[in-house]
Structure 1
Amino acid sequence: MSMKNATSLISLEEAQTDVWVCQIIAAEGVFGFLGNLLVCFVILRVRFLHTMTNYLLVNLAVADMLLCLCTFFHYLFASSRCTLINMVPSSSLGRELYCRLVASQSLIWVFFNASAYNLCVVTLERYIAIVHPLKYARKVTATRMKTLVTLLWMLSVLLALPFLFTIKASDDLDKACSDIEYLNQAFPILLSVVLVSFTYIMPVIMMSWAYYKMQVTLKRQAQALNLQRARAAAVDLVIARQRVISMLTIVLGALIILWTPDNVSVILCLYPTSDSILNFCGSESFKYISGITSFLIYLNSVVNPIIYELKYKKFRKGLRVVFCTCLDEHGGSNSVDAEMARR
C-alpha cells in the first residue's frame, strides 16, 4: 500500500470515529432532554411534590434539559469535529445567529453555568433548612428564591457572553463560520481560568462543605432523638431529610466525577485554543480524550433524572401517581396524592 493510500485510509478512519463521537453525544442529548422533561412534568403534576426544594430541582432540570437540547443541535449541525447534517441558514442574519449562538457553543455554556448554579441554590436551601431551621421561614421566601434564581441565570449568561464574539459568519461562501479569533492571546487563558473557577472549583468547594455540615447536623439530630426517645414523626422527619441530602450528595458526586476530566483538560490545554505548553494537547490522542471528556460532561445532565428515580423516594411515588392507569381522571388523583404524601 502506498503512503498516500495509507494516509487517506487513516484520515477516513479518523473521520468515521468523529462521526461516531458526534452521534453518541447527539443521542445523549435526546435522552437527557426527555429525562429532565419527565422530572419537570412529574414534580409539577403531582401535588405532594410541590415544595421549595422540588421547585428548585425543576429549575435545575430545566437548565439540564436546555443544555441537552443545545448539545443535540450543536453536534447535529455545527460541531467542529463533524457535522451530521449540513444545514446552514442562507440569510445573513440566520448565518450570524447560527455561528454566534450554535457554532460558538455560547448557549451550551449558558446552560452549563446555570446547571452548576442551580445545584448551588438547591444546596443553599437545604443548608438553611437543616443547619439553621429557625431562620428558614425568614430567609427562604418565594420572593427571595425567585430573585436568586433570576440572578444566577443572568450570571450564567454574562459568563458565556465572550463566546458570542469568538466566531462570526464567514465571508467565504463555502464556509459557514469564521475560525476562532481573539483580540489578545491572553484572553482565552483568562476566560478558561474564570470559567473553571466560577463554574466548577468554587461551586464544588462550597457545596461539598455545605453537605458535610448538613450530614453532621442530621447525624447529631438523629442521635439526640434516639436518646430522648422522641415521637416517630420527629424521627421520620430526620430520616426523610437524610434521604434527600443523600440523594443530593450523589448528584454532587456525579457532577464532580463527570466534570473533572473536562475541566482538567481545559486548564492544561487552555481550551478553546490549540496553543499550549504541552505538546500532547495538539496530538490525535488528545483529540479522542477530548471526545471522551465531552461525553462525560454531557452525561451529567442525563444521569440526574436516573438518580432521582433510584434515590428519591417521593419522586418514585410521584412517578407512580402520574403513570398509574387505575387513577380516575376527574377525581382519583387528589386522593392518591394525599395517600402518597402520608406514606
Structure 2
Amino acid sequence: MLTQPTVMSRFPGVHLYVTEERRLLLPHFESALLYTLLAFVSLLTVTLNLLVIISISHFQQLHTPTNTLLLSLAVSDLVVGLLVMPIEGLRYIERCWMLGRLMCALTPYVSYCMLSASLGHMVLISIDRYLAICDPLLYSSKVTLNRVKISICLCWACSLLYNGCILMGHLGRPDRFSSCHGKCVVVISHISGTLDLFFSFVGPCTVMVVLYMRVFVVAVSQLRVIQSQTAATKMRAAPTAKRSERKAARTLGIVITVFLMCFCPYYYPALAGQDTSTSLSYFGVLSWLMLMNSCVNPLIYALFYPWFRKAIKLILTLRILQPHSQEAKIL
C-alpha cells in the first residue's frame, strides 16, 4: 500500500516524491511472459535501428543529407530500445521502483530527451521531403550535408536543454522530496500538460501534417502531368500513374497515421482536463504506445527503401567485412 502520494513532474513547481509500497508480486507465469515480451520488443527495436545505423554509416552511397537524418533518428530510437524500454518495463512488471532516487530523476530525463529528439527528427525529415518534392531544382543547394548536420546538432541540443530546464531541480537534488524507497510516479498537472501538449505535440504535428499534405498534392500534380504527356504514346501509362498515386497516398498515410496513433493517446489526460500521472490505471498503455514508435520508425523510414533490403543482405551475410565493401552499389 502507498504510504503517501507519489509525484514527479516535468515542470518546475511540481514536485518529485518517492514513496514506499508493499510489493505486489505477479504470478511466475505472468511475470515470465511479460519479461519475454519486453525482451523481444526491446531487442527488435535495437536490432532494426542498429541495422539502419550500420547500413548508412558503412556504405558510401548512403552518405546523403536525407539518410543522415535517418541515421540520427535511428540513434535516438536505439537508445529508447536499449535503455528506456527495459527500465519502463521493469517499472510495470515489478510494481516497485528498485533503481533508487537518482535513477528516478534521470530516467524520465533520458526518456523525454530521446522521444523529443525522435519527434524533432521526424519534423526535419518532413521538411527535407517537402524541399525535395516542391523545390527539386534548388534542393541540392539548399539542403547540404553540413546544413543537415547543423540541424541535427540543434535538434539534439534543444531536446537536451528543454528537458534539462524542465527537470533542473530534480536533476540537481533528486532526493530533496524523497522520504524512502518505493514507487517512482510521474505526475504532470493539467496546466503543465497543456503547455507541453502544444510545444511537444501540436506544433510539430501540425508542421508534419501540413508539409506532408503539401508534398502529396505536388506529387499527385506531377504524376498527372506525366500521365497526360505519355497518354498519347503509351496507353498503359495511366494505370501506372494511378498506381503511383495510390502508393504515394498510402505511404504518406502510414507515416501520419502511425505517428498519431503512437503519440495522441499519451496526451489524452491533458485533452480531457486531467493531470497526467503514471499512477493512472491506463498510463502504461499510453506510455508504451509512444515508445513503440521507436520500433516502428525504422520500418516506416527505412524498410520502404530498396537500398535498406540490399544492405540487410550484405550485413547478415557478413559481406560488409570484405575489403572495399563500403563502395558497393546499394542504390
TM class by shorter chain equals 0.7 to 0.9
Within 2, Cα distance between the matches of 1:138 and 1:115?
Answer: 26
Structure 1 letter corresponding to 2:136: P
| Post-superposition offset of 1:168 | 1.5
1:304 paired with 2:297, answer yes
> Where do residues 16-95 of structure 1 align in structure 2 (5 Å cutoff)?
24-25=37-38, 27-75=40-88, 79=91, 82=94, 86-88=98-100
1:169 paired with 2:175, answer yes
Structure 1 letter corresponding to 2:311: G
Partner of 1:127: 130
CA RMSD in angstroms, aligned pairs only: 3.9
| Post-superposition offset of 1:58 | 0.8
Q: Deviations over 1:25-56 (max 9, x none)?
A: 56533331222111111122223322211111
Q: Per the alignment, do residues 212 and 178 of structure 1 end up closer, same or farther by CA in structure 2, a change over 3 Å counting?
A: closer
Match of 2:268 among 264, 271, 295: 264
Q: Per the alignment, do residues 13 and 142 of structure 1 end up closer, same or farther by CA in structure 2, a change over 3 Å counting?
A: closer
Larger displacement relative to structure 2 (318-327 or 45-54): 318-327
| Post-superposition offset of 1:111 | 0.8
Whether the 8 Å CA contact 1:114–1:156 is kept in 2: the answer is yes
| Post-superposition offset of 1:301 | 0.7
Q: What TM-score comes out, normalization by structure 2 length?
A: 0.73
| Post-superposition offset of 1:101 | 0.7
| Post-superposition offset of 1:248 | 5.8
Partner of 1:251: 255
Within 2, Cα distance between the matches of 1:110 and 1:199?
Answer: 11
Within 2, Cα distance between the matches of 1:143 and 1:99?
Answer: 37
Return 5+ residue gaps in structure 2 as ranges. Answer: 1-23, 232-239
Q: Per the alignment, do residues 136 and 319 of structure 1 end up closer, same or farther by CA in structure 2, a change over 3 Å counting?
A: same
The structure carrying a bigger helix percent of its residues is 1
Within 1, Cα distance between the matches of 2:39 and 2:111?
Answer: 13
1:208 paired with 2:227, answer no
Return 5+ residue gaps in structure 1 as ranges. Answer: 1-10, 89-94, 182-186, 231-235, 275-285
Q: Deviations over 1:173-225 (max 9, x none)?
A: 852788779xxxxx833431222212221211211111111111112112222
Partner of 2:219: 218
Whether the 8 Å CA contact 1:123–1:211 is kept in 2: the answer is yes
1:100 paired with 2:105, answer yes
| Post-superposition offset of 1:120 | 0.4
Count of aligned residue pairs for this structure pair: 296
Within 1, Cα distance between the matches of 2:275 and 2:98?
Answer: 29
Within 1, Cα distance between the matches of 2:260 and 2:33?
Answer: 26
Structure 2 letter corresponding to 1:191: S
Partner of 1:92: none
1:329 paired with 2:330, answer no
Q: Deviations over 1:99-158 (max 9, x none)?
A: 3212xx111001111111100001101101111223323321223222222222122123
Within 1, Cα distance between the matches of 2:131 and 2:308?
Answer: 22
Q: Per the alignment, do residues 56 and 294 of structure 1 end up closer, same or farther by CA in structure 2, a change over 3 Å counting?
A: same
Partner of 2:323, secondary structure, is coil
Within 2, Cα distance between the matches of 1:242 and 1:136?
Answer: 25
Within 2, Cα distance between the matches of 1:22 and 1:324?
Answer: 30
